[in-house]
């Protein structure tokens, strides 16, 4: 599933093409792509025709395209859940249907002219929806790519991500001290910290030398600070390398794959030598997924002696 770097690459690619563009036509060819939309395909098509986008925004793994506000109307946006295999692709106007195409928006941009924004999804777990924008709880901008202190209702429960200037390090470390669950579970909890999925959790924990099953409350202040720094470093490096692509399902808006998979130290490297100590990376079952870590570099802390 796309994580923060992959979604940010898509957002950054969409931003110059959609900002200021008028929606001249909408074709929802597969209603399964509108499962999170409150109306059907005909409503989605009619509600967007003639509207214009004012940008492209993201919080964690969640992407939305704010719409120009109608007179006396509340803010709205087209929110995109990419799911396991959703793709937002930019194509020339009139381009042939893409493989697994579900929704197409025809756009007229004042600078770039006519183009098409295509939502393609092989596994149909992703979706598009028109959603209301509501004020953020902390009064800060909703996420990357927007200066407005609003966020879609479907994203309001999602925590800020660690690359967001409004992310509060102190509050996050305080929350860790209260958590009795494994630190990897906390990293995957989008209500605690967003944008970090299985791949980047494994990579950050390896970099910080923290065992994924370590209880969050058992992390020292220094270790928690180091882990958060490594989470940011991993996300920023992945972002610089275009994200992680293991197959053709994750691509940017031009259909190109990311290459961070070549920089992985833990995830997917079962049996391969640790890049630090040489001991084989192990794989363990975790929350219906897998954890990858080095048993030498990432040791479980010893339990405190009972009195």
The helix-helix angle for 221-240 and 4-18 (nearest 10°) equals 50
Which of 3, 6, 76, 101 is catalytic? The answer is 3
289 is catalytic: yes
Report strand pairing: 62-66 vs 101-109: unpaired
3 is catalytic: yes
61 is catalytic: yes
Report the Cα 299 to chain-centroid distance in Å: 29
Q: Is 179 marked as binding a ligand? A: yes
2 is catalytic: yes
Which of 70, 279, 289, 299 is catalytic? The answer is 289
Which of 61, 102, 104, 269 is catalytic? The answer is 61
Sheet containing 113-121: order of strands: 22-28, 101-109, 113-121, 86-92
Q: Is 123 marked as binding a ligand? A: yes
Nearest CA to 154 among 63, 239, 241, 234? 63
* Three-state secondary structure string covering the chain: CCCHHHHHHHHHHHHHHHCCCEEEEEEECCHHHHCCCCCCHHHHHHHHCCCEECCCEEECCEEEEEECCCCCCCCEEEEEECCCCEEEEEEECCCCCCCCEEEEEEEEECCCEEEEEEEEECCCCCEEEEEEEEECCCCCCCCECCCCCEEEHHHCCCCCCCCCCCCCHHHHHHHHHHCCCEHHHHHHCCCCCCCCCHHHHHHHHHHHCCCCCCEHHHCCHHHHHHHHHHHHHHHHHHHHCCCCCCCCCCCCCCCCCCCHHHHCCCCCCCCCECCCCCCECEEEEECCEEEEECCCCCCCCCCCCCC
**CB-CB contact of 7 with 251 (8 Å):** no
- Residues serving a catalytic function are 2-3, 61, 289
Q: Per the annotation, where are the binding residues for DNA?
A: 100, 123, 179
Q: Per the annotation, where are the binding residues?
A: 100, 123, 179
């Amino acid at each position: 599933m796309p994580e923060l770097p992959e979604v940010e690459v898509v957002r950054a690619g969409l931003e110059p093409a959609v900002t200021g563009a008028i929606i001249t036509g909408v074709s929802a060819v597969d209603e399964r792509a509108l499962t999170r939309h409150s109306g059907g395909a005909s409503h989605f098509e009619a509600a967007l025709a003639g509207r214009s986008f004012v940008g492209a925004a993201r919080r964690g793994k969640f992407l939305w395209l704010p719409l120009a506000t109608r007179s006396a109307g509340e803010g709205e946006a087209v929110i995109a859940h990419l799911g396991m295999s959703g793709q937002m692709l930019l194509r020339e106007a009139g381009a042939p249907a893409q493989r697994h195409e579900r929704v197409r928006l025809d756009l007229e941009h004042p600078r770039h002219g006519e183009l098409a924004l295509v939502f393609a999804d092989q596994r149909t777990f992703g979706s598009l929806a028109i959603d209301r924008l509501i004020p953020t709880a902390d009064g800060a901008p909703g996420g990357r790519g927007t200066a407005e202190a609003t966020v879609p209702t479907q994203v309001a429960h999602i925590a800020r991500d660690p690359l967001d200037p409004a992310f509060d390090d102190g509050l996050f470390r305080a929350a860790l001290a209260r958590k009795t669950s494994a630190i990897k579970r906390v990293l995957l909890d989008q209500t605690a910290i967003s944008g970090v999925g299985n791949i980047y959790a494994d990579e950050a924990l390896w970099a910080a030398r923290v065992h994924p099953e370590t209880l969050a409350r058992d992390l020292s202040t220094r270790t928690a600070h180091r882990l958060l720094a490594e989470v940011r470093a991993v996300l920023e490096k992945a972002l610089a390398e275009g994200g992680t692509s293991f197959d053709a399902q994750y691509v940017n808006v031009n259909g190109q794959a990311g290459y961070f998979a070549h920089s992985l130290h833990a995830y997917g490297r079962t049996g391969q030598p640790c890049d630090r100590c040489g001991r084989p990376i192990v794989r363990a079952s975790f929350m219906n997924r897998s954890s990858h870590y080095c048993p030498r570099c990432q040791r479980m802390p010893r339990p405190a002696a009972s009195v």
